[in-house]
Chains A and B, each alone.
Chain A
Amino acid sequence: MSRFGEVVGTNEVAVNANVIKLDNVRKTYEMGETSVHALKGVSLSVEEGEFVTVTGASGSGKSTLMHILGCLDTPSEGHYSLGSEDVSRLSREDLAEIRNKKIGFVFQGFNLLPRTSAAENVEVPLLYSRPLEPASVRKQKALSALNLMRLDDRASHHPNQLSGGQQQRVAIARALVNDPELILADEPTGNLDTDTGREVMETLVELRAKRNITIILITHEPEIAAYGTRIVSMKDGLITSDTSNQ
């Protein structure tokens, strides 16, 4: 049953189910003679329904962490379990399927396809789901995800006809459309003004309340980090603090 099918407002409580478990993960980039240690041994567990914000200075390894969490990249060392699956050594194809089914990404630059309507943008992940659903089902799913972002009246608008905040909400709808377990957002408010940034953050808070969805959000702004239920700080490829923010 789809989470969208559930009655709005049911605040399901998570019972200690670990969505994410990172165990001493290292990531090293080899740059010719030198190697860059982007992650130097990160261990992290995230339970279902948590809203984790990750802060830290530029270059501290936040994005690298997110790429590994999102199966866009694999750790050089250590283990990563998503749900019950150890994904640290999966093949490219299996990783692609996990990204498609379990993870939704939100990027700083929105990454919407130009000259493509909001609804079609939201539909893109569904095009890579196997088995492929009929066009009518895909369209209806895209519209209901847009509806959740209160953008149903913008479904046929192209990205250049939408404000930054609206574009980012289209991107969130796209992240949601395949009903993922995990939303990963890398500086989602970085390209938005303060008010619009707040608006987007409130949308995410509301979404978590409605869906009990797990969110990991990266930001370098403390006031954005404050929206999380848990704040993780990073420095030089290591987690320096991990505090609850209820």
Chain B
Amino acid sequence: MKAHYLAITLHGIRQNNFQAFLAVLGVTVGVSALIVSLGLARGARQSIGDQMLAIGANMIVVTAGNYQVKRPQDSGIAPADHGFLMPDTSVMRGLASMESPRLISDLEKPETGGATFLLAHYEDDPNAEHDHPTAAERLGDAMAGLGAAATLSIEDARAIENSLEGISFVASGVHENARVSLSEEEGGKSWFTRLHGTEPTLPSLRAGWTYTSGRFFSESEFNDKSNVMVLGQVVSDRLFGTNANPVGETVFLWNQPFEIVGVVSSKSWASRPAAGDDQFDAIYTPVSTIHELLNLSKLNTITAAARSAGETSRLAKDITMLLRSRHGITEQMPDDFTVQTQAEKLLGSGLPPDVARVVAGNMGSVDNITMEQLSGSLERANTTMVTLLASIAGVSLLVGGIGVVNLLLLSVTQRTKEVGLRLSVGATRRDIVFQFMSEATALTLTGGVIGILVGISVVHMVGEFLGWAVYLSSLSMVIAVVISAALGVLAGLYPAYKASSLEPVGALYYE
């Protein structure tokens, strides 16, 4: 049955080459417009999404300690026998005011298996008697071990990761200021930078990262507490010069040798590496290694990524609730941590100029916007463009479809004698309907396939020469094929009906 119609269709199309060409051309224009508009629209959306992620719009950072807590003697909120928070995080290491029973049991059986510095208690345990050499004394670097508040644990990080819906990744962190040197001796080349002890999941949180060379440290290096280090681009440039590949070289931190495994840089216009920034003027090592070297067990920060930027405010609240309950904080007591969305941070420190321009173009005032509003405003701008392009595609497809209807109607008239002849040799009305329908569909599908090819090339050229963000999905190809087939069926319907209502005798002698 199918082969039957195919044979008739091929016969039919071949004798009407020029009409077929025109019909195909109309559909080709429509479908390529569709592919281009979908490609550009998806590209723009992807690009907006990428930029939002790259600037960290979906980040939530939990910091140990709480600036807002007043001294107990001023407010009387905190019990007098508890420690309190100082406004300077680097000295906020004494806070254990609300330790839960679980927290204590943690401290009772420390799990630091690396036996090098196995000690009775951690240095960030505020209840312990510190009767042994400090990290600074042991490692021979006066700065080692400074700057850690101690209310967040690895278990808190895992709890956030596992029990909250909408969180995609969590990385724990210990952050120090540190000097990294090329040689062990004094006076060698060195750079004073930010040290981040973190987890191998961190790159998943940093959508805007790219590796100039090497890679991030691995799960096994993390578990082995290896002395491995990833340099930010700025640090690599300062120590080894621009365009150098320092992977495999050794640098010294707290007089300990670290092997460089990678150099990380930014791929986004929204955050370019610059001296003094927190991501690329920085070095990264496993937090397990830092904990081991400094004999610490607590975290300064937990960074969580929301699946979408629009959810950060809700998730920030959820994290606050979760940590309060985990830390056993009662209703009247203040948090012993600070939850900040990256949005608040960004707006506090000023937006990257390109983002600021987009925002300024789309919103009246940037004073009070949230990242949700920024994201929403970009989405709306994008939706407007998608709608515009889709209308263009729709109109050209309509024109193409009407073209096919016209050409087929003309062809029914021109081919009345042919229909009569076909009827006289045994074609049924059904055969005639299917002939015209399948001719229409074959024409529009041919137009569709050519249109897809043309569309793909145009999208590539726009991406190449105009530098626009483009994105070609296989879904858009499927949509294009389905639309052209449906167009063929629709366009063939009326001509096919007209052709099939011809009477054999009348049609045979039509002039």
Instruction: Confirm or deny: B116 has a beta carbon within 8 angstroms of a beta carbon on chain A.
Output: no
Q: Which of B91-99, B279-287, B413-421 contacts A (4 or more CB under 8 A)?
A: B413-421
| Per-position 1/0 for B409-436, Cβ under 8 A of A | 0000000011011111111110100000
Q: Which of A114-122, A149-157, A162-170, A233-241 contacts B (4 or more CB under 8 A)?
A: A114-122
Instruction: Please indicate the chain B residues that have their CB under 8 angstroms from the CB of A97 in the complex.
Output: 426
Q: Is the CB of B15 within 8 A of A116?
A: yes
Q: Given A67-B505, A127-B4, is A92 in contact with B11 using a C-beta cutoff of 8 Å?
A: no
Of the residues B14, B418, B428, contact of A92 by C-beta under 8 Å:
B428
Instruction: Please indicate the chain A residues that have their CB under 8 angstroms from the CB of B14 in the complex.
Output: 115-116
Tell me the bound Cα distance from A134 to B429 in angstroms.
23
| Per-position 1/0 for B1-22, Cβ under 8 A of A | 1011001100100111100000
Q: Given A72-B505, A115-B14, A132-B3, is A127 in contact with B428 using a C-beta cutoff of 8 Å?
A: no
Q: Is the CB of B7 within 8 A of A105?
A: no
Instruction: Confirm or deny: B49 has a beta carbon within 8 angstroms of a beta carbon on chain A.
Output: no
Instruction: Confirm or deny: B504 has a beta carbon within 8 angstroms of a beta carbon on chain A.
Output: yes
Residue of A whose beta carbon sits closest to that of B7:
A127
Q: Given A92-B429, A97-B426, A129-B426, is A72 in contact with B504 using a C-beta cutoff of 8 Å?
A: yes
Instruction: Confirm or deny: B508 has a beta carbon within 8 angstroms of a beta carbon on chain A.
Output: yes
Q: Is the CB of B426 within 8 A of A114?
A: no
Instruction: Confirm or deny: A124 has a beta carbon within 8 angstroms of a beta carbon on chain B.
Output: yes
Tell me the bound Cα distance from A190 to B261 in angstroms.
94
Residue of B whose beta carbon sits closest to that of A112:
B421
Q: Is the CB of B428 within 8 A of A93?
A: yes
Q: Is the CB of A73 within 8 A of B428?
A: no
A111-153 interface (Cβ within 8 A of B): 111, 113-116, 120, 124-125, 127-130, 132, 135
Q: How many A-B residue pairs have CB under 8 A?
A: 73
Q: Is the CB of B423 within 8 A of A96?
A: yes
Instruction: Confirm or deny: A230 has a beta carbon within 8 angstroms of a beta carbon on chain B.
Output: no
Instruction: Please indicate the chain B residues that have their CB under 8 angstroms from the CB of A135 in the complex.
Output: 7
Residue of B whose beta carbon sits closest to that of A135:
B7
Instruction: Confirm or deny: A189 has a beta carbon within 8 angstroms of a beta carbon on chain B.
Output: no
Instruction: Confirm or deny: A21 has a beta carbon within 8 angstroms of a beta carbon on chain B.
Output: no
Q: Is the CB of A115 within 8 A of B15?
A: yes
Q: Is the CB of B508 within 8 A of A72?
A: yes
Instruction: Confirm or deny: A101 has a beta carbon within 8 angstroms of a beta carbon on chain B.
Output: yes
Tell me the bound Cα distance from A124 to B7 in angstroms.
10
Q: Is the CB of A73 within 8 A of B505?
A: yes
Q: Is the CB of B427 within 8 A of A96?
A: yes
Q: Is the CB of A124 within 8 A of B11?
A: yes
Instruction: Confirm or deny: A212 has a beta carbon within 8 angstroms of a beta carbon on chain B.
Output: no
Q: Is the CB of B504 within 8 A of A174?
A: no
- Chain A: residues with CB nearer than 8 A to chain B? 67, 70, 72-73, 92-93, 96-97, 99-101, 105, 107, 109, 111, 113-116, 120, 124-125, 127-130, 132, 135, 174, 178
Tell me the bound Cα distance from A204 to B504 in angstroms.
25
Q: Is the CB of B424 within 8 A of A105?
A: yes
Of the residues B1, B4, B11, B425, contact of A125 by C-beta under 8 Å:
B425
Residue of A whose beta carbon sits closest to that of B4:
A132
Instruction: Please indicate the chain A residues that have their CB under 8 angstroms from the CB of B423 in the complex.
Output: 72, 96, 99
Tell me the bound Cα distance from A73 to B505 in angstroms.
7
Instruction: Please indicate the chain B residues that have their CB under 8 angstroms from the CB of A116 in the complex.
Output: 11, 14-15
Instruction: Please indicate the chain B residues that have their CB under 8 angstroms from the CB of A101 in the complex.
Output: 426
Tell me the bound Cα distance from A135 to B431 in angstroms.
18
Tell me the bound Cα distance from A92 to B432 in angstroms.
13
B352-383 interface (Cβ within 8 A of A): none
A43 to nearest B CB, angstroms? 22
Of the residues B7, B418, B428, B505, contact of A113 by C-beta under 8 Å:
B418
Instruction: Please indicate the chain A residues that have their CB under 8 angstroms from the CB of B425 in the complex.
Output: 99-100, 105, 124-125, 128, 174, 178
B410 to nearest A CB, angstroms? 15
Q: Is the CB of B417 within 8 A of A96?
A: no
A171 to nearest B CB, angstroms? 10
Q: Is the CB of A107 within 8 A of B426?
A: no
Residue of A whose beta carbon sits closest to that of B426:
A100
- 20 example contacts (A-B, Cβ-Cβ < 8 A) are as follows A72-B424, A72-B505, A73-B505, A99-B423, A99-B425, A109-B417, A113-B11, A115-B14, A115-B15, A115-B16, A115-B17, A116-B14, A116-B15, A124-B421, A124-B422, A125-B425, A125-B426, A128-B427, A132-B7, A174-B425
Q: Given A116-B15, A128-B427, is A111 in contact with B420 using a C-beta cutoff of 8 Å?
A: yes
Residue of A whose beta carbon sits closest to that of B511:
A109
Residue of A whose beta carbon sits closest to that of B504:
A72
Q: B11, B15, B428 — which one has the most chain A CB atoms within 10 A of its CB?
A: B428
Instruction: Please indicate the chain A residues that have their CB under 8 angstroms from the CB of B11 in the complex.
Output: 113, 116, 120, 124, 127
Residue of B whose beta carbon sits closest to that of A68:
B505
Instruction: Please indicate the chain B residues that have their CB under 8 angstroms from the CB of A111 in the complex.
Output: 417, 420-421, 424, 508
Tell me the bound Cα distance from A67 to B504 in angstroms.
9
Tell me the bound Cα distance from A113 to B14 in angstroms.
11
B1-51 interface (Cβ within 8 A of A): 1, 3-4, 7-8, 11, 14-17
Instruction: Please indicate the chain B residues that have their CB under 8 angstroms from the CB of A132 in the complex.
Output: 1, 3-4, 7
> Given A111-B420, A174-B425, 11 other A-B contacts at CB below 8 A?
A73-B504, A96-B423, A101-B426, A107-B508, A111-B421, A114-B15, A116-B15, A125-B425, A127-B4, A127-B7, A128-B426
- Sorted from nearest, which 4 A-B pairs have the closest CB atoms? A100-B426, A125-B425, A115-B15, A128-B426
Q: Given A72-B504, A113-B418, A132-B3, is A99 in contact with B15 using a C-beta cutoff of 8 Å?
A: no
A162 to nearest B CB, angstroms? 16
Instruction: Please indicate the chain A residues that have their CB under 8 angstroms from the CB of B7 in the complex.
Output: 127, 132, 135
A149 to nearest B CB, angstroms? 17
Tell me the bound Cα distance from A100 to B423 in angstroms.
9
Residue of B whose beta carbon sits closest to that of A128:
B426
| Per-position 1/0 for B126-140, Cβ under 8 A of A | 000000000000000
Of the residues A67, A96, A113, A120, contact of B426 by C-beta under 8 Å:
A96
Q: Is the CB of B424 within 8 A of A99?
A: yes
Residue of A whose beta carbon sits closest to that of B430:
A93
A47 to nearest B CB, angstroms? 24
Instruction: Please indicate the chain B residues that have their CB under 8 angstroms from the CB of A73 in the complex.
Output: 504-505
A235 to nearest B CB, angstroms? 22
A188 to nearest B CB, angstroms? 14
Of the residues A70, A96, A114, A124, contact of B428 by C-beta under 8 Å:
A96
Q: B7, B420, B426, B505 — which one has the most chain A CB atoms within 10 A of its CB?
A: B426
Tell me the bound Cα distance from A145 to B15 in angstroms.
22
